[in-house]
């Protein structure tokens, strides 16, 4: 780690310690160290291998559920078995100690909650919850997991036997209105937004850090690659999230970081 990066992390830690209402905005880069695939990566991203409208749209779910679940089943199984990494754990510690107030995430893997974070706003829903489009019954992810490992390829509702839908935001669907409203309120209250592992390119989620900059919040960006907001950010650290967050947390919690 260069001295420049060390100094950037030290400054970020100081500002988070001083913040009145710090909010985290997380993307795929925080979960790739846990084995969760990135959707939009230029080399390994899922959308480099699949046409999202054919596999991950509402139309695909309705008209070709077998194709939809051929794509979604491995993603669910990976999310179900994945473990939080040091970045997720570090953010949970910062929430527990009062240094961050909430996490707004683009991720659908549930790893923030597995790590112990309490106030998590999932903009794109969750791969770990299911409901029936027919009768509205919710189905626990554990039940769907059991169906998959027993050889079922398309999970069905226990009540009416319709195909279950994962509670993720598919193409052709809008973001959940209540979650979006709550996320916007968090950003409006924030005097500091810490972006971790996001390219800040996916609309409309990307407008949240933009809003923070417009109303004068400090924005700190940790991402492996450049983002469109780097030039507007107070601090930019290009570093793996699972390496960056533990060092940040250590400095924040240190009594000698003044």
Catalytic residues: 124
Rounded to an integer, what distance in angstroms lies between the CA atom of residue 212 and that of residue 192? 8
Pairwise CA distance, residues 191 & 50, whole Å:
39
And the tokens for 45? 């991203």
CB–CB of 229/203 below 8 Å?
Answer: no
Return the exposure string of 137-167: e unless at least 16 CB atoms fall within 10 Å of the residue's CB, then b: eebebeebbebbeeeeeebebeeeeebbbbb
Residues 6+ apart with CB under 8 A from 177: none
Distance (Å, whole) CA 110 – CA 184: 20
Cβ atoms of 176 and 129 closer than 8 Å: no
Task: Verify cis geometry, omega within 30 degrees of 0, for the bond prior to 161.
Answer: no
């Amino acid at each position: 780690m260069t001295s420049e990066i060390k100094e950037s992390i030290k400054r970020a830690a100081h500002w988070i310690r001083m913040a009145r209402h710090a909010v985290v905005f997380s993307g795929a880069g925080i979960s790739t160290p846990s084995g969760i695939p990135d959707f939009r990566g230029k080399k390994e991203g899922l959308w480099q291998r699949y046409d999202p409208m054919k596999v991950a749209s509402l139309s695909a779910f309705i008209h070709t559920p077998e194709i939809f679940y051929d794509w979604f089943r491995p993603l669910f199984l990976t999310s179900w078995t994945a473990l939080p990494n040091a970045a997720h754990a570090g953010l949970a510690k910062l929430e527990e100690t009062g240094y961050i107030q909430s996490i707004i995430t683009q991720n659908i893997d549930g790893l923030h909650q597995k790590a112990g974070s309490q106030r998590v706003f999932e903009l794109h829903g969750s791969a770990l919850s299911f409901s029936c489009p027919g009768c509205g019954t919710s189905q626990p992810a554990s039940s769907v997991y059991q169906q998959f490992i027993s050889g079922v390829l398309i999970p069905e509702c226990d009540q009416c036997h319709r195909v279950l839908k994962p509670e993720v935001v598919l193409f052709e669907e809008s973001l959940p209105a209540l979650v979006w409203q709550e996320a916007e309120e968090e950003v409006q209250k924030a005097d500091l937004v810490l972006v971790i592992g996001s390219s800040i390119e996916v609309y409309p989620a990307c407008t949240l850090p933009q809003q923070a900059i417009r109303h004068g919040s400090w924005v700190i960006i940790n991402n492996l690659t450049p983002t469109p907001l780097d030039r507007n950010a107070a601090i930019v650290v290009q570093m793996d999230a699972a390496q960056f967050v533990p060092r940040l947390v250590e400095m924040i919690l240190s009594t000698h970081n003044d």
